[in-house]
Structure 1
């Protein structure tokens, strides 16, 4: 078997993978100079891609899947596989019959911490108050409702999606003495630190109970644009919305109008919309100036970029690889039909 690492590995990373796989497995990586070592070009990969049995990596240059006629396994080192679906990777996997694995929950801990950072920053109006302090501005009169902080203690956090990320958020929220409720397809399955579980058919009544709503569901055809005016109207005007999943879950225009009208108290997000019209029109990023609003706290896909994560991803990716090469069931195999 020949394994092609789609990024420019370090010597230590390559050695770690080679030491783990069965003897006789050839493991190679992208060649040549790079701008970002996590990405590679078609030219850097094509020599090995044509006869590789396994791809393992973070990014796929255009055309590389098409020339990989021997491909039997795509080891995708991300939590979501919606990017693969966008470029036709899942359709190609179904057509050719090669397997796909990802790593759900790999980024659960840093993303859960990012959620709590958003919750605290929004509740305490951190960015606005920091800027006021930097300008030596003192709020007057004291204790005005206009700049009063919100609380986490005793409030309700609602998790839409209770997988690895949602479960990790629930544990941290309990440290702030919050009531935590969740919503998922299988509401009968108990989850630690969740006080009550609802089904998707109960979404609007669920939203009315929450002071903080966290979106942590995978991006699929069913969840695209799932959160719009009706869902915002079901929320308390005093509530905060936090998106740690994908930007396309939320209808951008409805969100902007709610944030600028006072219908929604605040929004925190690490993810932003991507517009795709047959891949022939400019895409990427919010079209409305949501990030610049005073009641918004934002980062751009930085939630998973944290200490220990490179080692964690290499460990889980190598686990996927070893399972495939030794014929074991894939712990994190992707269901091609469901798209996750």
Structure 2
């Protein structure tokens, strides 16, 4: 079996991978200088593509899959598979009978902590008060509506997407004595720390009860643009919306209008809608309406998963799928190519 690492793996990473895979497994990775360790070009991988049995990596150069004549397993080193779906890779793998595995859950703790950071920072006006303090000013009068902190204790938080990340957010929210409502595709499956679980068709009735709404759902054809004008209108004007999923789950225009008209108290996001139509419609990873510049908005430039322990766990969990495949066992984190996760 030949395993091709789609990144400039360090000696320690390669030694670990070779050490846990069956004896005789060939493990190769690009060598030399690089601009981005996790984004090699096709040219840097071309010599090993044709006879590789397994790919493992964070990025796939254009044309790589089509020329992988022996490929049987693709270990995608992300939780979300929407990037693969966007370039047609999931459909291609399904057509060719190539199994796809992801590392869902590997960054769950980091992203859940990030979500709670957003909840607290919005509630307490952290950034605004920090800037006021840096300028040597004081907030006056005390207990003014505009500067008084919101509370978490006894409040209701809704979690849209109660998977590995959402379930941890629920656990952390319980530490603040919050009432937790969940929304997920399979509402019959109970999740610890969620007081009441709802289905996607109940989303509006859920968010109208919430003081905080956290979106942690996977990005699929069904969830894209699913949070729009009706959902935002159903929320309390005093509520906060937090998105640690993909930006395209929320419609940008109604979000902008809600934030600028007092219909929504605040918003925080780790990632933004990705516009990629081409020259006539400018490609951008930032909001076209400059939502990220609004005073009641917090951003974190897609770095929720960039935390201690995550990279090491990514590698370990990705290699676990190869070990399971080589042993003829079910792959724990195999992706359902019809659902996209």
TM bin, normalised by shorter chain, reads: over 0.9
The Cα of 1:280 is off from its aligned counterpart by: 8.1
Matches of 2:210 and 2:273 in 1, distance apart?
24
Corresponding residue of 2:322: 321
Corresponding residue of 2:212: 212
Report if the CA contact (8 A) 1:212-1:241 is conserved. Answer: yes
The Cα of 1:285 is off from its aligned counterpart by: 2.1
Matches within 5 A, 1:98-177: 98-177=98-177
The Cα of 1:275 is off from its aligned counterpart by: 2.1
Confirm or deny that 1:43 pairs with 2:43.
Answer: yes
The Cα of 1:279 is off from its aligned counterpart by: 9.6
Matches of 2:134 and 2:85 in 1, distance apart?
45
Corresponding residue of 1:244: 244
The worse-fitting range, judged by mean Cα deviation, of 162-171 and 32-41 is 32-41
CA RMSD of superposed structures (Å) = 1.2
Corresponding residue of 1:288: 289
SS at match of 2:114: helix
Report if the CA contact (8 A) 1:6-1:45 is conserved. Answer: yes
Matches of 2:246 and 2:333 in 1, distance apart?
20
Matches of 1:285 and 1:66 in 2, distance apart?
31
Corresponding residue of 2:332: 331
SS at match of 1:74: strand
Matches within 5 A, 1:11-30: 11-30=11-30
Report if the CA contact (8 A) 1:31-1:45 is conserved. Answer: no
Matches of 1:198 and 1:231 in 2, distance apart?
15
Report if the CA contact (8 A) 1:157-1:211 is conserved. Answer: yes
SS at match of 2:146: helix
The worse-fitting range, judged by mean Cα deviation, of 236-245 and 183-192 is 183-192
Matches of 2:84 and 2:279 in 1, distance apart?
14
Matches of 2:154 and 2:106 in 1, distance apart?
29
Matches of 2:281 and 2:238 in 1, distance apart?
37
Report if the CA contact (8 A) 1:54-1:74 is conserved. Answer: yes
The Cα of 1:281 is off from its aligned counterpart by: 4.8
SS at match of 1:314: helix
Corresponding residue of 1:299: 300
SS at match of 1:145: coil
4+ long deviations beyond 3 Å: 276-282
The worse-fitting range, judged by mean Cα deviation, of 29-38 and 245-254 is 29-38
Report if the CA contact (8 A) 1:8-1:40 is conserved. Answer: yes
Matches of 2:13 and 2:120 in 1, distance apart?
36
Matches of 1:279 and 1:196 in 2, distance apart?
46
Q: Which runs of 5+ in 1 are unaligned?
A: none
Flag the 1:111–1:30 CA change in 2: closer, same or farther, 3 A. same
Flag the 1:171–1:269 CA change in 2: closer, same or farther, 3 A. same
Corresponding residue of 1:226: 226
Provide the aligned length of Structure 1 versus Structure 2: 340
Flag the 1:325–1:214 CA change in 2: closer, same or farther, 3 A. same
* Alignment deviations for residues 116-148 of structure 1 (CA, whole Å, 9 cap, x no partner): 100010001111111111001111222211111
Matches of 2:281 and 2:197 in 1, distance apart?
41
Matches of 1:29 and 1:173 in 2, distance apart?
42
